[in-house]
Structure 1
Amino acid sequence: MEIREEVRKVKAAAPQMAALSETQRNQALQAVSDALAARKEEIFAANEEDRRQAEKEGIAAPVLKRLKFDEGKLHDVTEGIRDLIGLKDPLRQTQLARELDEGLTLYRVTCPIGVIGVIFEARPDALVQISALCIKSGNCVILKGGSEALRTNKILFQIIQKAALEAGLPEHSMLLLEARSEISELLDCYGYVDLLIPRGSNQFVQYIMNHTRIPVMGHADGICHIYVDKEADLKKAIPVILDAKTQYVSACNAVETLLIHRAIAEKFLPELAKELKAHGVELKGTREVQELTGCVEATEEDNRKEYLDYIVSAKIVDSIQEAIDHINTYGSHHTDCILTEDSGAAEEFMMLVDSAGVYQNCSTRFADGYRYGFGAEVGISTGKLHARGPVGLEGLVSYKYKLFGNGHVVGDYASGKRTFHFKDL
């Protein structure tokens, strides 16, 4: 496949995609949901092949877990599509209406970004979520999933593309890349791709950023922290930590580092260690934590480690400021939580921790587009421009300025013949 030519076709389809009505886009989403349910056995069979091959190749357990696409995953993605259909149309929303002068009126109106390329990990459900979000937001999409999910991604894409085209989406509004070598070709498609969203390791995301002129949005690592404050309710703390670590251990929003205030460490850490062990979680800790729990030693490298496994590191801190400094130094600016009943401490933590998500008394696993009511997400952005946190519909639209006049010319204002009065409508 000549990638540049195929991407050019996607770019040419973008204005047609942007012009579709909300009704047309929602009908396409419904058709996709129905088609996925109708052909689920084909999807499950392809996924079984992918998983058998991955196991044969000795793929790590967290990757195998992400790779699985079963009835539960199918239910989740179709529910997500149903939620998307019910969400307000993100397009053609007027964000600003201003009369500059009599008969000269300015509007800022939302529109699609255009062509979005998403390179994602071996998670077939991500392909469905990304495709659905792009349909709802009027964007064309180029998809490249992890090679471990090659068969599952292929059948999912075929089903989604066929249903969407039959429902009236433009030809070439979706493209699936299959070979890893095609990523390099995609990175050279500046001018045809409006935004790239890479999902994966820090090394991979940095590679993408350093090898393309296309704007890039996304996150690398998910090094999430929970700080247990001296005013924490310890009965709440352990269930929250267990959920954040074990509910879905290979997710980017699973907690990786625990920071425990010294005032409660002696009482809290032994009980926490006992519960973590009971749930199959290996605890690593500084020398102080080891003395209280008998856990495995943690090194400096553990401060920067995204385990994606049943492992968590712990450190004792003397103050909330030390916890904040640790998070801002070693964290990935993804999602970090304070467990405390002190509203002042929570406010300080949320103000000073420089992350896309800052929580009080709840699991970091809530950092998710579906759980935020966005329908789904194309990824988590830890940057600060355009979109931050779970990127749902709002993060997939831009805007344009529409100016309506009646023969107005700038010269009249430059000469003083006319003046602006800037009246918001």
Structure 2
Amino acid sequence: MTEQTTEAKVAEAQTAALDLANVSDETRRAALHDIADAIEANTETILEANEDDVAEAEAMLEAGEYSRALVDRLELSASKLESIAEMVRSVAAQDDPLGKTLASRRLDDGLELYKLSVPIGVIGTVFESRPDALAQIAALSLKSGNAVILKGGSEASHSNRVLYDIIREATADVDVPEGWAQLIEAREDVTRLLEMDDSVDLLMPRGSSEFVSYIQDNTSIPVLGHTEGVCHVYVDREADLGMAADIAYDAKVQYPAVCNAVETLLVHESVAASFLPSAVDRYREAGVELRGDAATRDIVDVDPAADADWSTEYGDLVLSIKVVDSLSAAVDHVNTYGSKHTESIVTETPDRASRFMRSVDAASVFHNASTRFADGYRFGLGAEVGISTGKIHARGPVGLDGLTTYKYHLEGSGQVVDTYAGEDAKPFRHEEFEGEWSPGRLSEE
């Protein structure tokens, strides 16, 4: 069988997107449950494919080409596959994001305007080594009525191919259009995809800032970027130090290879001597490599931090520590070196929490909680296609709402614009009202 070109795959996705927008939520929900069941039923097959990817990645790690964090993100297990299946079911359980009446406005008697949520259309995604990203993105795209072009990293090619085949096969007997999900694998396919602004409605790259910038600079398609996470925990002078120790530890150690793990710990100078010794001992027991500024090294024995450390996403058991003399200094550091991803303050004073949360420029800002909560599933979104660190269209964990746009429906009863123009123009009413759009709504009243 001849391999389809990228153009053919995108054309199939375009056709599918038009049909998928009109598939009922009940059918989309059933298809997602079939996908979850199929992932669980094919656990052994998926893990065998993943073993090939991990073996190749370990060889690249030995050669110095890959990082340990990349290999950790790549590896699947039976429990991870159970979590992926549960995530797909969680997406299925979300309210239907389509066809919602977002606003209703009466322009005049018998002339009503409705703003309704609709799918974006065809979404192109390019993502990193985590194979679970493919299942998350596919599930959210299906639930939101979007066709999707999937391009995973070459390091996960075996896992991605098997997962994609399982997902497509699971939906083959359900009443969803066949071409709703497409897989591309070659780098030249991505180059061609970037040129298809007449066919692809949104690109969602997940990777480094350099990678996302490359995508943005080489396409005229709108880009919703998921870049690195240089996240901070700030231990304030008014913090409960026991709580702060638990939060700071969880934010680094619970899973260091992900973008919502903390990379820099900021500590107010008035509590640094009380907080840092025990916190550093706990980190060391977990194998964390620690780097600190001069004020930190006056209190604990850690390696010196270089200027580059403050803007580095380690994705590993490495942490930089800085002592600051004020809440304002903490905010300034975050806004200077952070990636606008997720930031957290630990304090018992609401006013100080409020100052930090209002002043920090980030998609998610937490009070007395680990940065690891910045996640679509944990936010109750079902899953996420990525965490947007930009400010346009969608921000933070991007779930179903971030994959929809809107259009206007106008219900009239014979009105013409000339009635509302000229010297004798009839005035508009422009009244907001509570009402859901339905076809022929006016004739039903």
1:289-300 superposed matches below 5 A: 289-300=296-307
C-alpha separation in 1, matches of 2:380 and 2:161: 28
C-alpha separation in 1, matches of 2:238 and 2:103: 45
Report how far residue 2 of structure 1 moved: 2.0
Secondary structure of the residue aligned to 1:165 is: coil
> Which residue, 285, 288, 299 being the options, matches 1:281?
288
Residue in structure 1 matched with residue 265 of structure 2 by the alignment: 258
> Which residue, 7, 10, 13 being the options, matches 1:10?
13
Q: TM-score, normalised by structure 2?
A: 0.94
Q: Which amino acid aligns with 1:128?
A: A
Report how far residue 239 of structure 1 moved: 1.2
Report how far residue 423 of structure 1 moved: 2.0
| Structure 1 contact 104–406 (Cα < 8 Å) conserved | yes
C-alpha separation in 1, matches of 2:132 and 2:194: 24
Q: Does 1:388 align with 2:391?
A: no
Report how far residue 351 of structure 1 moved: 0.6
> Which residue, 122, 140, 143 being the options, matches 2:147?
140
Q: Does 1:85 align with 2:92?
A: yes
Runs of 4+, deviation exceeding 6 Å: none
What is the aligned length? 425
Report how far residue 219 of structure 1 moved: 2.6
- Alignment RMSD: 1.0
Q: Does 1:154 align with 2:161?
A: yes
CA-to-aligned-CA distance 1:144-169 (integer Å, 9 cap, x gap):
11111100100100010111232121
Secondary structure of the residue aligned to 1:402 is: strand
Q: Does 1:318 align with 2:318?
A: no
Report how far residue 13 of structure 1 moved: 1.8
Residue in structure 2 matched with residue 171 of structure 1 by the alignment: 178
Residue in structure 2 matched with residue 20 of structure 1 by the alignment: 23
Residue in structure 1 matched with residue 375 of structure 2 by the alignment: 368
| Structure 1 contact 147–180 (Cα < 8 Å) conserved | no
C-alpha separation in 2, matches of 1:374 and 1:179: 31
Residue in structure 2 matched with residue 420 of structure 1 by the alignment: 428
C-alpha separation in 1, matches of 2:41 and 2:280: 46
Q: Which amino acid aligns with 1:257?
A: T
C-alpha separation in 1, matches of 2:59 and 2:290: 30
Secondary structure of the residue aligned to 1:31 is: helix
C-alpha separation in 2, matches of 1:257 and 1:393: 31
1:298-337 superposed matches below 5 A: 298-337=305-344
CA-to-aligned-CA distance 1:264-315 (integer Å, 9 cap, x gap):
1122112211111111111101111112111000011111100001111011
Q: Which amino acid aligns with 1:413?
A: Y
CA-to-aligned-CA distance 1:23-56 (integer Å, 9 cap, x gap):
1101111111111111121111101111111112
C-alpha separation in 2, matches of 1:205 and 1:421: 46
Report how far residue 171 of structure 1 moved: 2.1
Q: TM-score, normalised by structure 1?
A: 0.98
C-alpha separation in 1, matches of 2:31 and 2:432: 37
Residue in structure 2 matched with residue 108 of structure 1 by the alignment: 115
Q: Which amino acid aligns with 2:400?
A: L
> Which residue, 40, 59, 68 being the options, matches 2:75?
68
- Range with bigger deviation, 174-183 or 360-369: 174-183
CA-to-aligned-CA distance 1:343-386 (integer Å, 9 cap, x gap):
11001011110100000111100000000011100000111111
> Which residue, 39, 47, 51 being the options, matches 2:50?
47
C-alpha separation in 2, matches of 1:39 and 1:336: 38
Secondary structure of the residue aligned to 2:299 is: helix
C-alpha separation in 2, matches of 1:42 and 1:180: 26
Report how far residue 80 of structure 1 moved: 1.1
Report how far residue 78 of structure 1 moved: 1.1
What's the % identity of the aligned pairs? Answer: 48
Where structure 2 has 5 or more consecutive residues not aligned to the other structure, the ranges are 434-445
C-alpha separation in 2, matches of 1:282 and 1:349: 28
Report how far residue 73 of structure 1 moved: 1.2
Report how far residue 8 of structure 1 moved: 2.1
